[in-house]
């Protein structure tokens, strides 16, 4: 596989990532626009006999330069009351976003609390950000859970393996947030340590459930492929 093709796949992968769970027809239109832009860029480069390496760097550079505009587009799409209702019904997307932001921020805040650290002056800002992100994750999960209970959507008889996997991933996000939250709020050391310890135990159990569901899904997909081969 040549460099321009790898760059094209990277661009399309990024498009699928930031448009995932976006409402239709916005999602399809955005992906089609991206695919057409990349196709035109590669076609122009090929017609001009531009070296493959230079073409690949140009495509990747365009993706990186356009990332802020892509995220701004996604943020603008989400600014409707209907989308808020959707996210409460499907909290996994926002929880995953909070998780992605929370993990590095927590690690930086922990590093800033060290006896010798260049991040020491930023400890207050980092700790406040950790608390804010953690509280947002916990509140979002609680509101979404109450909403589902009131609507009767949380019935075990209806749960599938993908549902359990997504639920385990969301639980991992919330439990990480719980562990991080109690490490940085003003509280007694003993109480904070207990809450954080329980959260980490829950995180480990949720991780096991998630990996188990992923393994089951992988086996099911493999069997489906084998059956298709046999049928053909």
Sequence length of the chain is 232
What is the CB neighbour count within 10 angstroms for residue 73? 16
Q: What average pLDDT does the segment 49-75 reach?
A: 89
Distance CA 184, CA 192 (A): 9
Phi/psi-derived region of residue 187, left when phi > 0, alpha when psi is between -120 and 50, beta in every other case = beta
- What was the pLDDT predicted at 186? 65
Residue-wise pLDDT for 68-94, tens only, equals: 999 899 888 888 778 888 888 788 888
Q: Which of 31-45, 79-93, 135-149, 152-166 has the highest mean pLDDT?
A: 31-45
Domain map (residue ranges) of the chain = 3-79, 82-224
Q: In the structure, what pLDDT confidence band is assigned to residue 155 with cuts at 50, 70 and 90? A: low
- What was the pLDDT predicted at 196? 76
The tokens for 1 are: 């596989």
Q: Roughly what angle, to the nearest 10 degrees, separates helices 3-19 and 26-47?
A: 160
The answer, yes or no, to whether residue 225 has pLDDT greater than 50, is: no
- What was the pLDDT predicted at 98? 87
């Amino acid at each position: 596989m040549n460099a321009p093709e790898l760059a094209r796949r990277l661009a399309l992968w990024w498009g699928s990532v930031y448009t995932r769970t976006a409402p239709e027809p916005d999602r399809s239109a955005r992906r089609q626009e991206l695919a057409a832009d990349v196709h035109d860029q590669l076609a122009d480069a090929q017609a001009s006999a531009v070296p493959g390496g230079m073409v690949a760097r140009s495509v990747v550079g365009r993706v990186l330069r356009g990332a802020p505009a892509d995220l701004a587009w996604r943020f603008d799409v989400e600014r409707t009351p209907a989308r808020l209702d959707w996210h409460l019904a499907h909290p996994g997307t926002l929880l995953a976003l909070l998780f992605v932001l929370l993990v590095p921020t927590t690690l930086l805040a922990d590093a800033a609390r060290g006896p010798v650290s260049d991040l020491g002056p930023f400890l207050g800002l980092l700790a406040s950000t950790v608390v804010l992100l953690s509280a947002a994750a916990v509140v979002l999960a609680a509101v979404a859970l109450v909403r589902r209970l009131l609507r009767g959507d949380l019935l075990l008889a209806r749960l599938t393996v993908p549902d359990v996997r997504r639920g385990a991933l969301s639980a991992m996000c919330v439990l990480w947030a719980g562990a991080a939250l109690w490490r940085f709020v003003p509280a007694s050391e003993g109480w904070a340590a207990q809450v954080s310890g329980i959260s980490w135990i829950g995180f480990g159990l949720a991780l096991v459930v998630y990996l188990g569901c992923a393994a089951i899904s992988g086996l099911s997909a493999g069997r489906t492929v084998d059956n298709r081969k046999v049928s053909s």
